[in-house]
Structures are given as C-alpha cells and as structure tokens.
Structure 1
C-alpha cells in the first residue's frame, strides 16, 4: 500500500513539470553537462580539456594581472596580454577567489551558469520583438546545443559578451535605461566590438523616437535622444577606463590595438582581406566560413531585424578589417545570429525540428572532440 501511494505521488509530479518548462530545460541541460564531462574524461577532465588557445591568456591575466612589457623569449616572444579586455578576467578571478577553484574550473563554471541565462534571456528578447516561440522548451534547448552555440561552452568571453549584449538591447527596448547603461559599460570592457554594438543600440534608441507609432511631443522625442546618448556615453566609459589603465601601465593607452600586429592582424578593407583569403589556399576554408556567417545578415534585414542585423554587420566589418581568423566565431557566436536561425527552425514541421535537434547534439559532440584535439578553426 505504501509503495502504491509513493508511485501515485511520483505520477502526480508529471503535470507539475509540464506546467513549469524550466524543469525540463534545466534537466536537459544537466544531461548535456554530464555528457560533456564523460566525453572529456580521456582528455584530462572537462575543465582542462575545455581550456585552449585564448583561455590561457585570460587565466594568466586573472592570476597575475596585465604584462608590463611584451614577452621577450620563447615561442610567444613579442606577444602581450593587452589584446584581451578586462571584464572576463576580472570575473574569472572573482569566481576563483570565492570558490577556491582553479582557473580551468572557474572558467567552466562561468560558462555553465551563464549559458542557460543567455538562452532564456534570448527567448525573452525574441518575444519582446513580437516573435513568439511556439515551443519554449524546444527553442531553449536547441539554443544551448546548436552547433553555432559550441563557443558558449568554452571558457571564452562569448557567453558573458552575449548576456551583456542581449541584456543591454533588451533593457533599452523595455525602457530600463540605467540598467542598459551599466550593461553597455561592461560590454565595451569585454571585447573591442562592444563599442560598435553600444553605438548601434544608442542610435536606434534615438531614431526610434521618429519611428512608426513612436510619434509624440517634442519632450518625448528629446528624452529618447538623451537616453540614446547616455547609453553611448556611459558605455564608452568601459573602454575609456581600460585605455586609461593601459596608459598608466605601459604608457600606451591603445596597446590593445597596437599589439594586434603580433598576431599578424593588420588593417585593410574587409573586401581586401576576403579576396586575399579566397585567392590563397591556406585561407580558403576560413574565408568560406566567414562568408557563410555573413549570409545570415541580409536575411536579418529582410525580416526586419534592423538593430540586430546592423550589430552583426558592424561586427563583421570590424573583424574582417584586421584579418580573417575568428570572424566566423564573432558572427556565429553572436546570440542575435543564433536567434535569427532559430526563428526559422522553430516554425518548421515537427520532423524537421527534431531532426535538427538530433543533428545538433551529434554536431556538438563532434565539435567538442575537435576542440579537445586542438582544432584551430573553432578559435
């Protein structure tokens, strides 16, 4: 009798879970984390296997601060960590100090915590725009396992940058200007492309005063213009603070830009770099990936996602003005790009949706193993 009552109680939980899709989302996410740990075991465990390439630079900054001068010997002679913006290393140091974890484990924890936050924030964002995701659980899970979301699993800035970007845009649309300004400052101090994103968000806040349905008094128009200008001005303080810090540390406030030459990043027109990549065999794969990423941007303008597509276009232009590598990462790992892709998939038939989900999980597995083996096209 007791066992029968226990079974009935367990059965009664099912409707509750259906009413709260968050349980389903977090359950699926927990399974994905468990799968990640299993896959990474032959590579020394997930924290160690996930830390590749730029991860070591972030951990170095978190542990020792920024360099006073470039590295003078060894395979990294001429390099310096000034190219990496400070918010992520600061967060990494904070998590490490609070938890006592190593840098590897702290970076993994940041990604684990921020990824579902980014997925749910993105779902709220598309609904705010008037697009209603018909399948909340499916949309959110696919957001976290889609192949272009692979960078959100790494101890890189992608997840933090995505949360700050979507949060800033969402807060601006909702009219929470103080919050938008705070997030904008963090965005500008997380990655060089943050400033162009903040400028775009601020300008769209100003221009929406003259948009359809936004007509109002001169005072209302003036308020929106001031709000947009405040977002840009306060956001720029994040970059300004880093410039002032580098100026006091090294005597060169733009050291983050000048040190790019060590990575062979030189300024040219984006079309020059793209043509160079297409005509040189060793760069064709990276160039094709960059152009594939770019193909999402015209679709965004076509469906009316003007702010989001403008941010993607500015990011693409800025990234391709100094080289070809990592450009596809900057676009595909941008949450606005992933939102545009998922809005198409979510409206498809059930067969297509679940086929994409299965293929996404399989691709996620393959890409993770390639990352563990040091596959550099993911950087």
Structure 2
C-alpha cells in the first residue's frame, strides 16, 4: 500500500513538473552547446575547464583538508577556505563513475547547473508566478557568469540548494527547510544566512498572528548552522583552528575592511572597479525589489549574502551576486519586460565568450 502511494506520488510529481523539466533540459543543452562552440573557437577542451579554484576543490577530494599551508609562492595558502559540501559530493560522483577528481568536479558542477535551472524556475513560479519560466531559466543558463556552473566551482550547487531551501520555506515545510539550510551552510559561508531568512519568516508569522508550531520551527532553525558547525569541528580536529576558513583568506590578499570604504574606493577606481561597484548596487536593487514584493526572507538573504564578502573587497563580488536567487529574480523580471531580451541575449552570449577567454588566459577577474 505504501509503495503504491509512493508510485502515485511520483507520477503526480512528474505530471506537475514535466514541462519545467523539459524546459530546464533544453536550456541546459543550449548552455552546453554554447560552451562547446566557445571552446572550439578558443582551441580548448572540456579537460581544461578545471583550473584556478577548481584545483583547490580537487585537493579536498583527493587528500582532504591540509594540516599546514603549502600553496602559493609564500606557501601561506591552504584549502581550508573551500567549504566541504561540493567537493564531497563531487568525490562521491567520481567514485561512482570512476572519474578522476578534476573531471568529477566539472561533471558535478554541470549536474548542479541543470538542477539549478529547474529549481530556480520552480522558485520563480512560487514567488513571482507571472514571470515566464523561459525568462527564469534563461537568466541562469545564459548569464555570462554561467561559466562557474561548468568549471568545477561550487556556485551552481549553492544556487540549487538555496532555491530548494526557499521553496520549502515558502511551502512551510520547516523541518525540511532547516535540513536543507544545514547543507547550504556547508556549501558556502554565506549559506549560513539562510538562518536569518528562516527567522524573518518566523517573525512575520508572529506579527500576522498566524499559528506557529514552535517545536518544529525552532528545531528547523537549529539545523541550519549544523553544516558550518561540522566543518568548523573538522578543521579544529585536522589543524587546530575552527576558523581556519576565515584566517587563511590573507593568503589571497583579503582582510577585513569597512564595506562603505570599499565601495567608495571602488567607485573612484578604474573601469573594472566601478563595474564591481555596479554589481553590488544591482544586488541592493534586488534587496529592494524583494522587499517591495513582500519577500523579506529573500531580501535578507541577499543583503547579508553580499554584505559579508564586501568586508573583504570587491574582486570576487560577481560570483556572490550573480548566483543569488533574488538577484536572478530581478534580472528575470527585467528581461521579461517588453523586448529587453532582444538586447540581453546577444550581450549575454558575448559576455560568456569574454568570460571563457579570460578563464583560459588566467585573468584574475575570472577566478
């Protein structure tokens, strides 16, 4: 009887989502076709995609976390800065498919890109049902920064897991949301801010005098920091510093500064620094967009999710901004307005070409 109910549930889920699944696959295939064409034009291959930070993830896959720093010319860098969820999943994929670490990392990031396209379209259907699914999926699959979903980085996993978290939160499945939030906090440090979003929904329900199942809600909230806590405990057991993921950032020239000063100096800097400031302003625009549309949990996630990395500087900001679901919701809204897509599509295609060129030529703005 239970097996029959499960089969019926799966059939119903497929019936409800088959069109989104088909569209997600179509957009993903389009992304892969564009990547193939770019690689052919650059004389590169898929085997060369895993480079830069992908090498750090593969070091976690092959050897675990280091006891002492050994990277960079000054031998002051270590893989402690790279959170465990993605490399551990990629290691499982490598073992299952008998793939070397670099290939497994790339395959895993691509698989998460496909899942992220689907999950983001589902998220958009719940929060902003008037947005067309094609626009939602396209801003993920054809963004210039879709590069990071193809090269063994954690960004595509972060978007997928964060979308699942907010879908469950919207559906008021609080224990499941807390469990997924725990995974999210082990994907990237900013995943911890799912806790803030979770609390925002609790406060909203109390203010609206909605019935609150406090036992389930509180237990779900406590699950969210567990991913980060487990990582910290592991680092402490390996090399004696639970905050090594933060302390090792100095090896990449990052130190804690005033975010307002960072923005001010960026605005006064050259063209690329000013572009990075614009990406921050775009994220702040997404915060306002979500707030005005009564989505405070999404607004809070992006506000804190870009605020924390801003303390360390602007250089990696696009990787934080353009893989934030609220920012992508704003972009999907803009793209679906009138004929904006006629301009956006060729610009995004050109942007992907530029990103891949920078990636293979070692430009620091792609790392």
Q: What is the TM-score with the length of structure 2 in the denominator?
A: 0.86
Q: Distance in 1 between matches of 2:164 and 2:326?
A: 12
Aligned equivalent of 1:12: none
Aligned equivalent of 2:11: none
1:361 paired with 2:349, answer yes
What CA deviation, in whole Å up to 9, does each residue of 1:255-297 have, x standing for no partner? 1111112222222221122234344559734643444444433
Pairs within 5 Å for 1:87-166: 87-133=85-131, 135-166=132-163
3-state SS of 1:91 partner = helix
Q: Distance in 1 between matches of 2:290 and 2:27?
A: 29
Pairs within 5 Å for 1:1-379: 20=19, 22-23=21-22, 25-41=24-40, 42-48=42-48, 50-71=49-70, 75=73, 77-133=75-131, 135-196=132-193, 198-212=194-208, 215-216=209-210, 220-221=211-212, 223=213, 225-279=214-268, 284-285=273-274, 287-296=276-285, 297-346=287-336, 348-349=337-338, 351-379=339-367
CA contact (8 A) 1:69 1:80 kept: yes
Q: 1:289 to 1:154 in 2, by over 3 A?
A: farther
CA contact (8 A) 2:108 2:152 kept: yes
Q: Distance in 2 between matches of 1:162 and 1:251?
A: 31
Bigger Rg over Cα: 1
Kindly state the Cα deviation for residue 237 of structure 1 after the two structures are TM-superposed. 1.2
What CA deviation, in whole Å up to 9, does each residue of 1:219-268 have, x standing for no partner? x23x1x44443233111111111111111111111111111122222222
Gap runs ≥5 in structure 2: 1-17
RMSD over aligned CA atoms reads 2.5
Query: Runs ≥4 in structure 1, deviation > 6 angstroms?
Result: none
Q: Distance in 1 between matches of 2:275 and 2:55?
A: 23
Q: Distance in 2 between matches of 1:94 and 1:291?
A: 35
Q: Distance in 2 between matches of 1:284 and 1:352?
A: 26
Kindly state the Cα deviation for residue 371 of structure 1 after the two structures are TM-superposed. 1.9
Q: 1:226 to 1:265 in 2, by over 3 A?
A: farther
Could you tell which deviates more after superposition, 78-87 or 145-154? 145-154
What CA deviation, in whole Å up to 9, does each residue of 1:131-160 have, x standing for no partner? 322x33354234311234343333211110
Q: 1:191 to 1:142 in 2, by over 3 A?
A: closer
Q: Distance in 2 between matches of 1:38 and 1:124?
A: 29
Gap runs ≥5 in structure 1: 1-18
